[in-house]
């Protein structure tokens, strides 16, 4: 991974602390925000560890260690948890494209999974970064775009029209739950 020079990274045993948002990847912004929400007990939302396959393992003084492992393709979304009594699950994706968001960023299994979460009563959305703006796209809108279009990417116009802007800030770095409140809990 490459980090821009204006970000100071401190590696500790188990986690990486990053100071300042500028240039931070979308996923890091969200991870930090989840940690913040967790600390202030606003929500319990975690990034699921990437599923791995182990083809070789051994044992040392600390227990089982992986000697050969590979990453599996996820069939669900990256983040899930609980917020205001509701199940919540979402995916975070960014693109350097300017005019559209390529759907190749999503695994087919993930796309099929979204309507299922909705049918079971969960809150489900995508956090998309394009043209340096971060949008929340409702899962239902995302799926209806895919069902009604033969396109391989989502035009930027559509995102601007249907998305809800999530502003970057400080603590949390990305206050996406305020937008979730607006979109899913308004009037409660």
Q: Least separation, in Å, of the C-beta of 122 and its own copies?
A: 5
Element (H, E) at 83: strand 79-83
Q: Which is nearer to its own copies, 85 or 147 (CB)?
A: 85
Q: Least separation, in Å, of the C-beta of 89 and its own copies?
A: 8
As separate numbers, helices (DSSP H) first and strands (DSSP E) second, the chain gives 5, 12
- Distance (Å, rounded) from C-alpha 117 to C-alpha 65? 34
Residue 82 in contact with its own copies, rule: CB under 8 A: yes
* Alpha helices (H) in the chain, listed in sequence order: 26-39, 108-119, 139-148, 156-162, 176-184
CB 85 within 8 Å of CB 79: no
Nearest residue to 136 (alpha-carbon basis) of 168, 110, 165: 165
Residue 4 in contact with its own copies, rule: CB under 8 A: no
For residues 111 to 150, the per-residue mask of contacts with its own copies, x marking binding by CB under 8 A and - elsewhere, is: -----xx-xxxx----------------------------
Q: Which is nearer to its own copies, 33 or 154 (CB)?
A: 33
- Distance (Å, rounded) from C-alpha 176 to C-alpha 165? 9
| Dihedral Cα 86, 118, 100, 177, nearest 10 deg | -10
Q: Which is nearer to its own copies, 35 or 94 (CB)?
A: 35
Residue 25 in contact with its own copies, rule: CB under 8 A: no
Please select the residue that binds its own copies; options are 21, 76, 105, 162, rule is CB under 8 A: 76
Residue 62 in contact with its own copies, rule: CB under 8 A: yes
Residues that bind its own copies (CB under 8 A): 14, 41, 43-44, 46, 48-53, 62-72, 76, 80-87, 89, 116-117, 119-122
């Amino acid at each position: 991974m490459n980090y821009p020079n204006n970000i100071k990274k401190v590696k500790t045993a188990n986690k990486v602390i990053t100071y300042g948002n500028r240039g931070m990847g979308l996923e890091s912004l969200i991870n930090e925000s989840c940690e913040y929400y967790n600390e202030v007990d606003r929500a319990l939302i975690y990034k699921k560890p990437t599923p791995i396959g182990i083809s070789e393992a051994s044992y040392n003084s600390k227990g089982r260690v992986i000697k050969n492992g590979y990453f599996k393709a996820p069939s669900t979304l990256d983040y899930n948890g609980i917020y205001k009594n509701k199940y919540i699950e979402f995916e975070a994706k960014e693109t350097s494209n300017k005019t559209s968001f390529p759907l190749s960023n999503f695994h087919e299994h993930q796309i099929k999974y979204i309507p299922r979460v909705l049918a079971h009563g969960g809150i489900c959305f995508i956090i998309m970064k394009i043209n340096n703006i971060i949008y929340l796209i409702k899962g239902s809108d995302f799926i209806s775009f895919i069902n009604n279009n033969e396109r391989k990417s989502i035009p930027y116009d559509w995102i601007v029209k249907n998305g809800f802007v999530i502003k970057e800030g400080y603590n949390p770095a990305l206050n996406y739950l305020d937008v979730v409140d607006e979109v899913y809990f308004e009037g409660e």
